[in-house]
Each structure stands twice: as structure tokens, then as C-alpha cells.
Amino acid sequence: MKGFYHQILKLDLTCHGQQIEPISDDILERFLGGKGLATHLLMENNPTGVDPMSPENHLVLATGPVSGTPVWGSCRYGVYTRSPQTGLYSESYSGGTVGDYLSKTGFDAVVLYGASKDPCWIEVSDHGTFFHDAEDLRGLDTFETEDRIKAWIRKNRPDAPKCGVVCIGPAGENGVRFSVIENDYWRSAGRTGVGAVIGSKKIKGIAFWGSQRKEAADPEWVKRYAKDLSRQAKEDPGVLAYKSKGTPMMVDTMSRVGSFPTRYWHKGEAAHRERINADALHQRLHVTPNACLKCLIACGRLSVVKEGRHQGLKIEGPEYETIYAFGGLCEVDTIEEIAYLNDICDRLGMDTISAGNLTAFAIEAARQGRIDCDIDYDEPDKIARLLKDMAYRRGIGDVLSQGIKVAAREWNMEDQAIHVKGMEPPGYDPRVLKGMGLAYGSSPRGACHLRATFYKPELSGIIEPDGIEGKAALFAEWEDRLIIMDTLIVCRFYRDLYPWKELSNLIRAVTGLDLNVEKMRRIAQDISSATRRFNIREGLTPEGDRLPRRFHMEVLPETQKVITEEEMDRLLRDYYRARGWNEDGVPPETKDRP
């Protein structure tokens, strides 16, 4: 089969050993690459009940069959492991440039296990894999770490074309359970604490370089298709919207329907919306659209603060999710202050969604006198201090660094904490967008918006946000298509450009496999069931799919909406049925499936 190198690199970090293992056509036909291959590797290799921060936990970095090709949206990589934040299946993806460099090393996936005795960084290339001492990188932020590793490669590897670097900051080194793996300064595999996993293995960064290229089944078709798509996409309204306003456009969209989570999930709209929305960003900062490699959309905003106390601060962002987390949940009043907090999280290597949720939770705790902490809504400097305390695990910050479940238990606030499976939700209130309730409950990695991006059909009129009837079946279909996108691996924002038919064409041109919709859905279903089995063997029960009670009990003031327990029961029941699982969400036993 084309589209793959048919080999993975396994790195034993304990002895700094390495092994190249073949991957058979049979495995690749069943799982494709990316998420499918990585899930298979985790099911095969990760011991049941492994402590996520222990040497025995495996972490897989993978690309897909379209990586390294001219396919638009293809420059991404995925990270898969057992999450230290949820204790469950973990997947996280990042764009930028690294996906291409990882692919050029000549491996479909790199698997890390064991733990180095001393801090190190790893060089993976088609000229060999080398472990380097990282004592001098200890404690550096993500930007400095990336710069230093790239400078070393430039100086010592005259044969190397440019390289891609992934790394962690102090938060990952200190075991903060929502720390990220970052690349290209501002791009990150942001959710589920993958940074803490490589931090626990004493890996500060990994550089990828090489000049390998995979053979496509029909390279001429791939080239022609990329050209045609770039012509068509010029008129596409979704592409134009992302290009002109980026993800911050969602501030207005979500506010209009009363689903912009504000004041730690007590409200659905922010009074200061006009100071934090896409218009504010574009007026108050110098903004240039920025793209990952192989992208025609360019949703990124390369932004420089024009004036005020953060004048000159440069960042790619803030993205919608960061605006919601600090501007909504913590009610930070201006886009410049949100950029400032975003920059702190990026440098320290922390997920802004979790960090913003935890900060707002701490603000609630402080207001109720449950903790001794001088902090309130819209206090950016005190929020900045708390973020640093989280990364360096000081005082209240140490409690928060262990995640929302620990903080809620410690402060006796379990009835107020908003999370599913230990992961805090992104910026879509499920009391308004009820399909997002199912998204948060059913996602294997906890409250997640990306497995089906179901806000899209609910906001665009494909299905009524309030309705329940038929929702789970449509949800499963969206999720299946995006699972296939994650096996390839392509960016979520290409979902409208790659309907089923185009995915089928792409897979045929790249791999030579002839997959109709039914076959692709079967593969997606198998992968979905495999992630569910992974979670069940790690202790997930149907209770773990439930939403926090506040979403059922606390009415949103603007819309008077809740999602009732009965509605959530029905959505989950229908979803389990659509997936072919029993009433407890357990997939059937199969001999030949993982």
C-alpha cells in the first residue's frame, strides 16, 4: 500500500535505545494512519492501569498518509497517550510546520516509552536518532527551548535542511497536568496534558529533520486536486470568514445565541464583548493572517499589540478558545490583556482552556472564602501571577496544577466544578447547543469540541440546537468523518472542503485503497470502539459520560436554558446505539478488532 513508510521508530528512553519496527499493510488497511495507527499501538503496548506519569506509559507521535504531500491542511501531527489529566485515552493535534518534518524522517510514527535518567532532547532524522543532554535547557520557556534546539541543529548538522521542533516549558517539566507540547512558538498539542507525559520522561524537546518522501498511489491526481481546490476555495464563504477574522469571529457568533461562557459558566454573554471580539483584535493589534504549512485558509492571526502597557507584545492569537477562557470565564476586559495572559501560557507551556477554567474556578473559591487568595474577576495581573504559580506549583497554584478534580475535592466545591472526565470544556455552552453536551459527554478525552465540531451543524441550521430527536445519529456521522480526517491527519477547518466523497478520492489517490462511505465509516467505528475499550479498561463507567450537574440545574440568565438530565440520557442512549454499543456504552467483543 502507498502513502506510508511502513515503519515506526520505538525509543526506549530508559537506556536511550532505539528500534525500527515494520507495520504491515493489514494493520494500515484496518486503521489507516494517525489516530487509527496510534490507537492500535497504544492498545497493543500500553499496560492496563499504567500511571500516566510513569515510564511505562507510552506516547505516540504520528502523522498520516497525506503528511508530506501537497494536500491542503495536511501539515499536522498527533500525540496519543494515557492522559495525566483524565487518566483516560488522550489525543491532541498541532499544526505549524512540524508535521512535514516528522514525515520527512521516514517513519509513520515515533513511540516513546521508559524515562531518561537525566534531562535530554532527542534528534530524530533519516540520518539516525541521537539523544542529547538537556541540562542547559532545564527551566527554559518554550520559545527559548525551540530557538536553542534549532540553533544546535543549524550549527552541527550541515546536511540538515531546516528542522521542526516540539518542546515543553517549565509547566511540562514540573508535571502540570494540563501542560502542552508546543511547536513553532504558538502552535500546540494543547489538551489532555501531553506535555506532562514527556516531562515525566525527562524529555525537553524533539527535533525532526530529513528528506524522505512517501510515494503516493496517484501523485499527479494529488497535485491536480490541490491546484483545483485552491481555485475553488477562493470563493468559499467558510474559508473567507476564517481568513478575514480567524477563530475570534466565534466571540460574536456564540454571544448572539447566548452560548459564550462567562463568569465561570454563570452567564452566556459578556457585557464587554466588543472589547474582546474579532473586530477589537483587528483594530487594537496589528494583525497579519498566518498559515500552517500547506494551508490555503490561514486562520492564524499574527498579532502585535499597538499601544498600552503590552505594546510590542507579539503572538499568534489569541484564538477563540483563549479569548473565551480568559475574556469570558475570567471576565478579562480587553483583548490586549488576554493576549498578555495567552503569551504567559504559551511560554510556560500550559493549555489556555484548562488554565482559564481553573483560574475562574479559583476566583469563585476566593469569592466564597474557601481559599486564601487575593484574586477576582478581571484582574489580569493577579491572574498572571496565579498562572505562574500553577506552572511552578506554588501555593494555590500547586493544587490547580493537579487539575480540576483535585482542586474541587480539596476545596469542597465538587458541585460547582465544570468538567467531564477531569477535562474542562471549551467555549460552547451545552445548555444552548445541546449537541455539544453530547460532544462533551461522549468524547474519549473529556469535554472536547473537536471530535465532531458539532457546534457547526447546530449553528448553521443543519440541525436545531435545542432539539434532541435524531441528533445522536447525525453526531456519530460527523464524528466518523472527522475520525477519518484524524487518521489522515488533516486540519479540522477543512471539514467543509472534504466531505465523504473527497475523503474517499483523497485516500484512493494517496494510498491506493478504494474506500466508499460505508467502508470508511466501518473503520471510524472500529477506531471509536477501540478508544472506548481503552477507556473502559482504564476504569471508565457510564457515569463518566455525564455532564456536571450545574448544566442541568443552573439556568442561563440570558436564555433561561438548561440541558435536562432526561435530554442528556436520551442523547447518550441514542449515541451508544448508533455506535453499536450496549446500554452501558460497552462495545461488543470482537476477535479481530482491537
The residue behind cell 474579532 is 278
Q: Using N-to-C axis directions, what is the helix angle for 352-367 and 380-392, rounded to 10°?
A: 110
The residue behind cell 478488532 is 593
Q: Of 249 and 363, which CB lies nearer to ligand SF4 in the complex structure?
A: 249
Q: How many residues does the chain have?
A: 594
Q: Of 96 and 210, which CB lies nearer to ligand SF4 in the complex structure?
A: 96
Q: Of 243 and 593, which CB lies nearer to ligand SF4 in the complex structure?
A: 243
In contact, 245 and 493? CB cutoff 8 Å: no
Min CB(243)–ligand SF4 separation in Å? 9
Q: Of 95 and 205, which CB lies nearer to ligand SF4 in the complex structure?
A: 95
Contact residues toward ligand SF4 (CB under 6 A) are: 73, 95, 291-292, 295, 297-300, 491, 493
> What whole-number distance in Å separates Cα of residue 494 and Cα of residue 514?
22
> What whole-number distance in Å separates Cα of residue 365 and Cα of residue 141?
29
Show the 3-state SS of 454-484.
Answer: CHHHHHCCCCCCCCCCCHHHHHHHHHHHHHH
Q: Give the closest residue to 57 by CA, choosing from 25, 31, 90.
A: 90
Min CB(193)–ligand SF4 separation in Å? 21
Burial of 542 (C-beta count, 10 Å sphere; 0-12/13-18/19+):
middle
Min CB(242)–ligand SF4 separation in Å? 6
Min CB(404)–ligand SF4 separation in Å? 26
φ/ψ (deg, to 5) at 106: 95, 15
**Which SS3 state, helix, strand or coil, does residue 553 take?**
helix
In contact, 259 and 428? CB cutoff 8 Å: yes
Min CB(302)–ligand SF4 separation in Å? 11
Q: Of 326 and 494, which CB lies nearer to ligand SF4 in the complex structure?
A: 494
Q: Of 95 and 317, which CB lies nearer to ligand SF4 in the complex structure?
A: 95
The residue behind cell 546536511 is 159
> What whole-number distance in Å separates Cα of residue 279 and Cα of residue 243?
14
Specify whether the backbone of 242 is left (phi greater than 0), alpha (psi in -120 to 50) or beta: alpha
Q: Of 169 and 300, which CB lies nearer to ligand SF4 in the complex structure?
A: 300
C-alpha angle 145-147-151 in degrees, rounded to nearest 5? 120
Min CB(320)–ligand SF4 separation in Å? 12
Min CB(75)–ligand SF4 separation in Å? 7
Min CB(162)–ligand SF4 separation in Å? 18
Min CB(240)–ligand SF4 separation in Å? 12
Q: Of 105 and 183, which CB lies nearer to ligand SF4 in the complex structure?
A: 183
Q: Of 180 and 468, which CB lies nearer to ligand SF4 in the complex structure?
A: 180
> What whole-number distance in Å separates Cα of residue 594 and Cα of residue 580?
15
Q: Of 73 and 199, which CB lies nearer to ligand SF4 in the complex structure?
A: 73
> What whole-number distance in Å separates Cα of residue 444 and Cα of residue 420?
10
Look at strands 203-209 and 120-125 and give their pairing: parallel
> What whole-number distance in Å separates Cα of residue 60 and Cα of residue 534?
15
**Dihedral angle of Cα 378, 383, 385, 386, to the nearest 10 degrees:** 150
Min CB(491)–ligand SF4 separation in Å? 3
